[in-house]
Amino acid sequence: MMDQAQSLRQLVSSQEPKRSSGGGTSARIITVCSGKGGVGKSNFTLNFALALQAMGKRVLLFDADIGMANIDVLMGVSARYNLYHLLKREADISQIIQKGPSGLPFIAGGSGMDELFSLSEGDLSYFTDQIAGIADSMDFILFDTGAGLSKETMKFITSADDCLVVTTPEPTAITDAYALIKVVNNSYPDVSFKLIVNQAGDEKEATGTSDKIRMAASRFLQLEITFLGFISSDTHVVQAVKKQIPFSVAFPNSAAAKDVHRLALSYLAADSADTTKVQGIKGFISRWLKRKH
């Protein structure tokens, strides 16, 4: 019998791609967030980006965690430039894009994130043009935001095409994930969420965790949330962090690596079936500027 992964591969390949390999394409903007720290959000984002890239997608990973930027640490890469250098016009976009494992393009976070929220009109125009120049050659841009719901994270969540919420089966993580969804929904009911359960003991625990959040959202917020999938609790993940190598690269046959592969397939299937127009990076920044929070 055809397994779920095979079914998803066929569904993805059978759909007409929205973004061709030619010019003038629009990258889908994805914000990854979590209700609290310690749920493995950044690790998920990194390995999810690698999984999408392995499937032939052009991906740019953007570390948007203002206080605790650590994507470069997880990859064991020392970033020479970060966003600060672009905003200060000390380097252009091509210089601040670093290469991680498997050649994954990424922009390191750091102090530049603070300046991003207080740019002059001229500097913002420069930043937009620089990012747009590279975004047209990407299929997906992933923003790894800080844990919790700061005003900066709120802007990223409510301006993106998709918001992926990472949680774990721990009661506090479940409560905080739902609280984040509720606060965002109260101000911006048009935001759609996709849920990922990390560090799950098994599929039953992952489904039970997802159901708690999804049922509460449906009952109290009249909001339907998609459960994208789960990543198993796997000792290989901890080993990979210590090695500063993404677990999907260090241990490609591990349960966690296989799970993130399935998650990427599920996401691409959902993306192919989504008829919503992709706004692109300029649309993302336009919406971001209009947000009150």
Reading phi first (left if > 0) and then psi (alpha if -120 to 50, else beta), residue 244 is in left
pTM score: 0.88
User: What is the structure's pLDDT at 244?
Assistant: 95
| Residues 165 and 194 sit within 8 Å (Cβ to Cβ) | yes
pLDDT: which is higher, 108 or 66? 108
Residue 109 has pLDDT above 70, yes or no: yes
Average pLDDT score over residue span 74-85: 83
Give per-residue burial for 86-114: e unless 16+ CB within 10 Å, then b. Answer: bbeeebebeebbbebbeebbbbbbbebbe
User: What is the structure's pLDDT at 118?
Assistant: 65
pLDDT: which is higher, 272 or 249? 249
Say which range, 76-85, 176-185, 216-225, 231-240, has the weakest mean pLDDT.
Answer: 76-85
Question: How many Å apart are CA 22 and CA 286, to the nearest integer?
Answer: 24
Burial class (CB in 10 A: 0-12, 13-18, 19+), 155: buried
Residue 72 has pLDDT above 90, yes or no: no
Identity of the amino acid at 274: D
Number of neighbouring beta carbons within 10 Å of residue 157: 27
Residue 279 has pLDDT above 90, yes or no: no
H or E stretch covering 163:
strand 162-167
| Residues 181 and 165 sit within 8 Å (Cβ to Cβ) | yes
User: What is the structure's pLDDT at 114?
Assistant: 59
pLDDT in tens, 208-225: 999 999 999 999 999 999
Residue 253 has pLDDT above 80, yes or no: yes
C-alpha torsion 239→243→249→254, nearest 10: -10
